[in-house]
Structures are given as structure tokens and as C-alpha cells.
Amino acid sequence: MTTAQRTAVRAVGTGHVRVEGRDKVTGAARYAGDVPFAELGYGWLVLSTVARGRIRDIASGPVLEMPGVLAVLDHRSAPRLETDYVGLLGIRPDPTCAVFQHDTVPHLGWPVALVVAQTPEQAREAAESLAVEYETLPHDIAFDGDRPDARPADGIMPAVTDKGDLAAELAASAHVVDEEYTTPEEHHHPMEPHAATARWEDGRLEVVDSNQGAAWVVGELANLFRLDPGSVRVRSEHVGGGFGSKGVRAHQVAAVMAATVLRRPVRVALTRPQMFALAGHRSPTVQRVRLGADADGRLRALDHRSVSRTGTHYEFVEPGAGVARVMYDADAHHTENRVVRLDVPSPTFMRAPGEAPGAFALESALDELAEKCGIDPIDLRLRNEPATGPVSGLPFAPRNLRACFEEGARRFGWARRDPRPGVRREGRWLLGTGTAAASFPAGAAPSTAAVTAEADGRFTVRTAAADIGTGARTALTLVAADALGVAPERVTVRIGDSAFGFAMIAGGSMGTRSWSMAVMAAAGELRERLAPGMDIPAEGITVRSDTTARLAALTAVERHSYGAQFAEVAVDPATGEVRVRRMLGIFAAGRIVNPLTARGQFTGGMIWGISMALHEEALRDPAFGGPVGADLAGYHVATHADVPRVEADWVDDTDPDDPVGIKGIGEVGIVGAAAAIANAVWHATGVRHRSLPIRPDRVLTAGSDA
Amino acid sequence: MALPTSSVITLHINGEKHTLPVDHRTTLLDALRERLDLTGTKKGCDQGQCGACTVLADGRRTVACLQLAVAAEGREITTIEGVADGGRLHPVQQAFLDLDGYQCGYCTPGQICSAIGMLAEHAAGWPSAASGDVRPAAAAAPLTAEEIRERMSGNLCRCSAYTSIVEAVARAAGADAATAAAVVPAQSGEAVA
């Protein structure tokens, strides 16, 4: 048929229900563990019960005799893997994923074997029956801020930035804050546990997986198993949340191993308790913040040092001190991320890595400084708005933090706030309000996309994007529709398949921005090629894009999303209970593609802030080295009853120099949210809480040791 | 003599009978997912802590992971695949769809089944911890946002779509106006518009 009329109405910017929404509310959407396979083998991982040691023996013989058991894989029998490579994200593989390669156990919950059986019941019983004998070695998981073996480490950013004379500027300051802040070990816990099914067919490896980037997982598996990437296909159509935890993990590798050995499809799913060891986590942090200011609140000195923890087998740095490099300038400015290696599982990226714990410390310290200076906390921040990147010296792309605070203050009723702490009471509750700033980088990474004009007048977009709940599939539909000049109903977006070529992962708040750039490029070129009324051949007309060169040509600027967080809390001084009563977040985050889903992503991040401020804490037992209560009862995440009215909105954030105009919004919502709540708790009670979570016992004992 | 470890059972699911042999260890959740290809019911924790596997058994919500399949015989099980009326979505499903009461969608079948069961509990006059007066003679508590939050707290949503889930449940219950008022309690400071 011929090309049809184009629409002038823009799809981007108006609310659209998710294109896969009907499948999700009817149960028809198939997640990784939902896709049926004939002759499926069920794999069950066996994890170490010691925190450090060596495997002496694994009694696989008796287990192989159990009903339905097909295989036991361990370091004596598993295929050898290649681990000496740098993956797509520029990082080396986490050795935890290279399962069954040696007899060393570096932490509790290290995968030591995989049992495969014909049914899940048989696999579970066999795995739980597998006797593993260890030579136990002493372990060290004692984390604190004074470890002499903590050393500066780069990770995803340089370890240290330094300018000016800290000691001199602190000495010359009218007001100084010098405090320590701590955040605990936190876990992602997407509702869908990690699951992968691997099978070989006609010499090609296929993996149905739950991940944040199908092309990324292909790269890792091809490297690990020394395969041609072209012979590996990973599909991940629906993903039940990720938050940074769904990269390559032990389960995909174990599934591929078992499928290779058994020549049949094998599924390996992590159990919820296993996720505490194998899904990654956010390291605890100990942060010291020193701020020095003139009497009018202008910062002379800013020193932010963060210590985090990693495993002995793998280094991941939680860069808590990074956020100050973007947010505030000072004559003397020092930031430093250090890490200490302990006998714990691998930490990893978790929603706003660095910014989430870092902003808790920094934005709490600013509130303390505001108190000392006798300046409103919003005024203090606005007086310290930097002209250029405090560390980079680069100009800012539009930095609309001020607009966020002004709009937020107006809507929250900030002007009527009495700054004095501990003076509002309502029955048994002390009431307070708090605020904090948020920011998150707006990056982009090379991606490819293909857009096809179909013979039936529809358009198909193919890109290896992942929709982990972000609404990316719908957002890309709207972006493509506008770029093509057609109604979104005429566009089908296919994602989650490595066969579509390379694309950025759903991570770093870079996914939708990166994919949109690729989709806009391909769709825009296709639109130019299609003359009105021209005939479309049966196979359609396809245009492909690759944004590598375009991104390399972008001028370097400080480009970020910003936000102003507001919280009102009620604190019961008799029980120590803290209730968040309302939250408001106003964000400047580029062009908002789909207001319906964007609102949920912002508020979801803010609710993560509630969870971080009040609930989440994985406590490791020093004696056995593992988390206590490693399940969703022992690790509390916010549920319905914890969540009051939470509202998010945004201000205009147009950037004429940005070819996309879209920024990621997955992470900025959590940044500063916990600080706003902690600052509100101070305002309610007059007591500062510098350690998260703000548990009832901490509220009850707070101030007694001050 | 060894006792049998499997039985042939008949399950009534979404109005259909399914006769199948099951391992006695098989949970209702695994029977649905692995044996009957009813994968809409999700496994989030497999230990009764997250609510993702919530189904209705004789109209009452239950977590399918804590129920053995053999114990579900004789009960009418309704899963997410069975709540729509043919092609027409259940009002709770429609409200979740329209108000974006989800993100990743994995907890959604459990949230929806739980909401349907919860609304029936509320309609039957059952109180909750959020109800002011829990005496048997007390009038049914109005379905405020507080009531919905309390009654839905067995269903975790890690994407934290709680705000829109509560709105969706309220809309489905036809309680928009009352709930909208309850969602904005009188508090210090200006109520957020």
C-alpha cells in the first residue's frame, strides 16, 4: 500500500497508557520464568554456608541417585570459562558469575554447585541434600569508617578531586559543620527474582532471561564461554524490575553450563534468599562531611569523604562523594571515595549509585549548616548555586534547580514554615518538614535502532532496549511516532532482543535517552525517504541508525537532572515511630515523554527514599558472615501502609543544545529523598539522625549520647 | 512400604477442571505455573512474604506459594487469567491500566487479585487495623486511602507504584470522591494540589 497521511499532533508530552499494559493486567505478559519449554530441566543453585574457606568435598554421588536428578555441576565438573576480558560497560566480569571454576569460597552464599532435575521439587530437595564439606578459614566483615586498609579507588569516577586549602578555609569560616553519616547495606529486590532459561538449537545458544540489557548479556556470555557473539541470542521481553541488579549473574552462566552439558533447556532462577548473596547490593557507607561557610552561608570549604565496602574477589566502589562534584562549589573543595575489601558478596550499581547515599550525607550536612547560619535551607542552597562545574569547570547545560525549589516551596507551603525544631505537636506526634536537593547525570551511550515502514502502513521499531518497568517501550513508541509524524497507534516497538543489535542498557538513567536518540535518527531518516503516496514493497523499507559518531561529537557540558524534595513527617517520641505524611518532588528532567508513566517513576524513586530513610537495612552477623533475616520479612521495603500521598511534578527544562532533549528519570527521584525525611525528623524533634535507617530504637535513644 | 509421593488431583481453576498427577510437595503456585501454564500468577518470594502469587480461593485471597496443590482440591481458584469477563477487563484491571497502577508489572496480578478479594472483604464489613471502630456492631468503615493502604499491605511493589495502585483500587471501588478527600488529609502546611 502507499504511505498514509501524517499527523501533526505530538505524542510526546501527553499521557499514554503502557502499550503492553493490557498484557500486564491480565497476566498474559510472559516474564523470563514464564516462557514454557519442552523437556525443561530445573536448576537449583547450592550456595556456600561458610563465609571464607575452601571446598574439600562435594558429595554429588548420592544426590545423582535421587529421583529425577539429571546433573550436579561443581568446580570439578563444570566447563571452563574465560574471565580475562573487559565487558561492554568497560568493567571486568564479576568472578561470582564465573561459577564453579575453583574451590575457593570468598563469601557466604558463594555458588558452589548447581543441581538439575526434571521438576522443581526434585531439584530443590536434591540441592538441599547436597553435602558440601569445607575447610573453614577466618573471615572479616567488620566494616567501619576507620579501617586503615580502606584506600582511594576509582570505580566509575576518579577516586579523589581536590582544590584549594581546606584547613585554611575551614579556619576562616564563620560556621563549620563536621559530621559523620552512615548508610547501611541495601538490596535491590526487584519483585521478579532473577531467572534464565538456556538452550542450544542448531548450534546457537538462546537464553530467555530477565535483564537490563540483552546485548550486554550476550557480550558477557560470549566472552565467558568463548562463543561468537553472533551465535548467542538473549531475549528479555518483560522484566520484573531491575534497579541495577539485573546484569550478568551466576544464574545465567549456570543455566548455559547445564544446557551445554545436558543438551536440553535448563532454567535457573534465584530464590529470594539467594538474591541477598548473588543479585548484588549497595555497600554500606561511612561518610564524613565538612562544610565551612561565611556568615551569609557562602561555602568556603567543602570536604566529602566516603568509605564503602567491596568483596575480596571483586571491586565495586559506591561513590558517595561524587555528588558534591556537581552540586556545590567552594574555595577549597575535596571529595574522596575509598573502599575496603572484606569477605562479603559483590556490591553493584543500585538505583542512583553514589548519589543516593552521598546526597543523604551532603544534603543533611547542608541542613545542619543552614541551622548554624540561621538561613533558610532553600536559601542556603540557592546562594551556593555554582556558575560552572565545581570540579570540571565545564558550563552547565540548563541547571533548573532554582525553579524546582521555587515551584516546590510554593506548592508545599514552605513559606509558612517555622524554622524552629521541635515546636509542633499534634496529639502524640511531633511534626516537622524538611527539604533537600537532587541531581543525577543525564548521560547517553551509543545505541542502534532499526525503523521499518511496513507495507500495511504501519511502522516497526527494533532496538535492544529493556523495559524494566520504566515505560521505555511506550516512551519509544511516542518518540518514534513523533519522529515519523504518525499516530502512536501505527507504531510497534520491539525491544528486549539482542538480535536487534547493540543498544545501551536500562541503567544509569541513560536508557531512554540513548535509545531515543537512535530511534529519532532512524525514524527521521526514514521519514525523509518516504515520499507521500509512494509504494512500500512487501518487505518494507528499513533504516538503521548508530549513534556512536553523533555522541562522540557532542560538546562536553555538565548535563544533569535536578530536583527539590520536600517531606513532612510525624514522630512519636514515646514509641520512636516515624511516619512520612506527605512528600512532594519537583524535578527538572528534560522533556517528559510520557507524563503518566513518568510520574510513577519519580514517585517510585521518592518512595525508595522513604524506604531508605526508615526501613531498609541488611545486617550481617559477624559470627557467620551473612545477612540476618535474609528474606522480605527480615529486610523491610516500604509497603502500602508506609506510603502516604507522594506527589511528583516537573518544571520546564528545555535544552536547545541537546539533540535529544530527553533525560533519564529513573534515579533522580531517590536522590535527596532520604535527606529530606531526615531533615524533617530533625525539624520535628530537634535531634539529628545521621545514620540510616531512622529506626524506632534510634529515635528513642537519640540525643542520649549527644 | 513406602508411602505414595504423588496423587492424581482435580483442581478447579477459573471455572475449568484440571485433573493431573502432582508431586505432594508441589505448591499451588508451581502447579499453576509449571503444570498448567497459568503463569500470570507470579513467584516473588516463594515464602508468603510478598503477595505476588495472590489468587482467590473460594473468593478469598490466598498466597498460592504457601498452599500445597493437593490442599487446593475442592476449592474454586481464581487467578489473574480468570478475573476478566471475556474480553472485558475487570474494573480493577481497567483502573490499574488507566491509572498506571504498576511499573514492571510483576506484582500486578497479585495486587489485582488482592484488591478484588479486599474489596469483597470490605463490602462484607470486615474491619482492618485502620478502622476506627472494630466492634462487630460497628458500621462498615468507609474505604479511605488509609483503609486501602492497610488492607493492601501484604502486596509489595518494589517499583513503588503504591500511590497509583491506591488510586486505582479506589476508582474500581467507585470511591473516587471519598478517597480523593481522604488522600489529602488536613495537615500543617498547604495541601499539595
Give the model confidence (pLDDT) of A258-315 as tens digits: 999 999 999 999 999 999 999 999 999 999 999 999 999 999 999 999 999 999 999 9
Relative to beta strand A285-293, strand B6-13 is: unpaired
Task: Return d(Cα B35, Cα B6) in angstroms, integer.
Answer: 14
Cell of B9: 488431583
Give the per-residue pLDDT at A143.
Answer: 97
Which grid coordinates are listed for A371? 541551622
Residues 6+ away with beta carbon under 8 Å from A635: A187, A189, A276, A616, A617, A618, A627, A629
Instruction: Kindly determine whether residue B100 and residue A18, on different chains, have CB atoms separated by under 8 Å.
Output: yes
**Predicted pLDDT at A659:** 85
Beta bridge partners of A289: A179, A304
Same domain? B177 vs B101: yes
Query: B45, A631: Cβ pair inside 8 Å?
Result: yes
Mean pLDDT for chain B overall = 90
Parallel/antiparallel/unpaired status of strands A332-342 and A299-311: parallel
- The reply to whether B123 and B166 lie within a common domain is yes
Residues listed for chain B:
193
Domains and CATH numbers, chain A: 21-30+445-551 (3.30.365.10), 394-443+554-706 (3.30.365.10)
Q: Which helix (H) or strand (E) holds B8?
A: strand B6-13
Is there a contact between B45 and A26 if contact means CB atoms under 8 Å apart?
Answer: no
Cβ contacts of A603 on chain B, cutoff 8 Å: 160-161, 163-164
Instruction: Name residue A342's beta-bridge partners.
Output: A311
Closest to B154 (Cα-Cα) out of B14, B47, B40: B47
Note whether B60 and B98 are same-domain residues. Answer: no
Q: How far apart are CA A341 and CA A89, in angstroms?
A: 22
- Beta strands B60-63 and B54-57 are antiparallel
Q: Which residue has the cell 551473612?
A: A626
Instruction: Indicate whether B84 pLDDT > 50.
Output: yes
Model confidence at A7, pLDDT cuts 50, 70, 90, reads: low
CATH of the domain at B146: 1.10.150.120
Asked whether residue B2 is domain-assigned, the answer is no
Spell out which residues of chain A touch residue B162, defining contact as CB-CB under 8 Å. Answer: 607, 638-640, 643, 646
Q: Is A667 a catalytic residue?
A: yes
Query: Crossing angle of helices A595-614/A355-373, nearest 10°?
Result: 70
Tally the C-alpha atoms within 13 A of residue B141's C-alpha that lie toward its C-beta. Answer: 24
Mark residue A535 as left, alpha or beta (left: phi above 0; alpha: psi -120 to 50; beta: remaining). beta
Partners of B46 on chain A (C-beta within 8 Å) are 271-272
Q: B158 at the A interface (CB within 8 A)?
A: yes
Q: Is residue B190 part of a domain?
A: no
Q: Which amino acid is at A654?
A: T
β-strand A448-453 against A459-462: which pairing, if any? antiparallel
Q: Are B74 and B132 members of one domain?
A: no
> What are the phi and psi torsion angles at A273 (to 5°)?
-65, -35
Which structural domain range is residue B121 located in? 91-183
Tell me if A30 and B100 make a contact (CB, 8 A cut-off): no
Substitution target in A14, A16, A118, A191 with the highest count of B β-carbons within 10 Å is A191
Indicate which of B100, B116, B144, B190 best probes the interface with A, i.e. most A CBs within 10 Å of its own CB: B100
Chain B nearest C-alpha distance from A534 (Å): 37
Determine contact: B93 vs chain A, CB below 8 A: yes
Q: Is residue B132 within 8 Å of residue B186, measured between CB atoms?
A: no
Size of interface A-B (CB pairs under 8 A): 212
pLDDT above 70 for A381: yes
The total number of residues written for chain A in this structure: 706
pTM of the model: 0.96
A53: left (phi over 0), alpha (psi -120 to 50) or beta: left
Residue range A175-184: mean pLDDT, rounded: 98
Q: Are residues B101 and B145 located together in one domain of the fold?
A: yes
Distance CA A684, CA A699 (A): 11
Pick the closest to residue A309 from A277, A283, A328, A281 (CA basis). A283
* Closest CA in chain B for residue A666: B159
Kindly indicate the confidence band of residue B189, based on its pLDDT and cuts at 50, 70 and 90: very low
Average pLDDT for A543-562: 96
Q: Are residues B78 and B96 in the same domain?
A: no
Among B82, B99, B120, give the residue marking a domain's end.
B82
Q: What are phi and psi of A623, to 5 degrees?
A: -75, -45
Tell me if A320 sits within 8 A of A358, measured CB to CB.
yes
Give pLDDT, residue A511: 96
Per-residue pLDDT, B175? 56
Picking from B61, B82, B103, the residue at the C-terminal end of a domain is B82
Answer whether B51's CB lies under 8 Å from B63's CB. Answer: yes
Q: Identify whether residues B14 and B32 lie together within a single domain.
A: yes
- Tell me, yes or no, whether B135 and B61 share the same domain: no
* C-alpha cell at position A336: 574522596
Residues from chain A contacting residue B50 (CB–CB below 8 Å) = 191, 272, 632
Q: What CATH number is given to the structural domain containing B75?
A: 3.10.20.30
Per-residue cell: A63: 544426590
A402 in B contact zone (CB under 8 Å): no
Residue with cell 518497568: A469
Q: Is residue B189 part of a domain?
A: no
Count the domains in chain B: 2
Neighbour-count burial for B47-83, b at 16+ CB within 10 Å, e otherwise:
ebbbbbbbbbbeeebbbbbebbbbebeebebbbbbbb
Residues 507-566 of A with CB under 8 A from B: none
How large is the average pLDDT for residues A509-526?
97
| Residue B1 domain-assigned (yes or no) | no
* pLDDT value, residue A532: 82
Average pLDDT over residues A77-93: 91
Interchain CB contact of B103 with A (< 8 Å): yes
Give me the residue from A239, A413, A633 closest to B104, CB to CB. Answer: A239
Residue B171 lies in a domain: yes
Which residue out of A20, A24, A25, A122 would a mutagenesis test of the B interface target, given it has the greatest number of B Cβ atoms within 10 Å?
A25
Residue A417 identity: R
**A673 phi and psi, to 5 degrees?**
-65, -40
Rounded CA gap, B131 and B74, in Å? 33
Residue B193 domain-assigned (yes or no):
no
Helix residue ranges per DSSP H, chain B: 28-30, 91-99, 108-123, 145-151, 162-172, 176-183
CB contact under 8 A, A596 and B162: no
Question: Domain boundary at B42, B59, B82, which?
Answer: B82
Of A112, A129, A120, residue with least CA distance to A75: A112
Chain B residues 47-86 with CB within 8 Å of chain A: 47, 49-50, 52, 79-81, 84
A351-367 average pLDDT score: 98
Write out the DSSP string of A123-148: HHHHHHH--EEEEE--------TT-T
Average pLDDT over residues A197-217: 97
Residue B163 distance to chain A (closest CA, Å): 7
Asked whether residue B183 carries a pLDDT value surpassing 50, the answer given is no
- Please indicate if any CB of chain A lies within 8 Å of the CB of B133: no
Examine the domain organization and report whether B177 and B106 are in the same domain: yes
B118 part of contact set with chain A, CB < 8 Å: no
Q: Cβ contact (<8 Å) for B23 and A119? A: yes
Banded pLDDT at A705 (limits 50, 70, 90): low
Q: Average the pLDDT over A124-146 and give the result.
A: 97
- Would you place residue A537 in the very low, low, confident or very high pLDDT band (cuts 50, 70, 90)? very high
**Banded pLDDT at A8 (limits 50, 70, 90):** low
- What is chain A's mean pLDDT, rounded? 96
- Whether B112 is covered by a domain: the verdict is yes
The set of cell numbers assigned to A69 is 536428578
* Residue of B101, B114, B63, B155 lying closest to A632 (CA atoms): B155
**B105 vs A: CB within 8 A:** yes
Report d(CA A511, CA B146) in Å as an integer: 36
pLDDT of residue A706 exceeding 50: no
**Percent of chain A whose predicted confidence (pLDDT) is above 70:** 98
Q: DSSP code of A72?
A: E
Instruction: Tell me how close the Cα of A3 comes to any Cα of chain B, in angstroms.
Output: 31
The grid coordinates listed for B176 are 473516587
Residue in chain A nearest B193 by alpha carbon:
A411
Residue A624: how many other CB atoms lie within 10 Å: 14
Nearest CA in chain B to A271: B45
Assign A657 a pLDDT band (cuts: 50, 70, 90).
Answer: confident
Q: What angle do CA A257, A259, A264 make, to 5 degrees?
A: 165
Whether B78 and B120 map to the same domain: the answer is no
Contact A389, A441 (CB under 8 A): no
Asked if omega into A659 is within 30° of 0 (cis), the reply is no
Question: What is the per-residue pLDDT for B185?
Answer: 36
Determine the average pLDDT of the residues in A385-401.
97
Mean per-residue pLDDT, A674-699: 98
Distance from CA of A548 to the nearest CA of B (A): 29
Label residue A6 by pLDDT band (50, 70, 90).
low
Nearest-5° Cα angle at B70, B66 to B71 = 60
Instruction: Kindly report, residue by residue over B9-63, the tens digit of the pLDDT.
Output: 999 999 999 999 999 999 999 999 999 999 999 999 999 999 999 999 999 999 9
Q: Which cell numbers in the block locate residue A517?
A: 536518540
Q: Which of A457, A376, A333, A399 is nearest to A588 (CA)?
A: A399
Which pLDDT score is estimated for A423?
97
Residues B101 and B154 in one domain: yes
Please provide the distance, in angstroms rounded to a whole number, between the alpha carbons at the two ends of chain A: 78
Same domain for B173 and B103, yes or no, is: yes
Q: Do the domain assignments include residue B42? A: yes
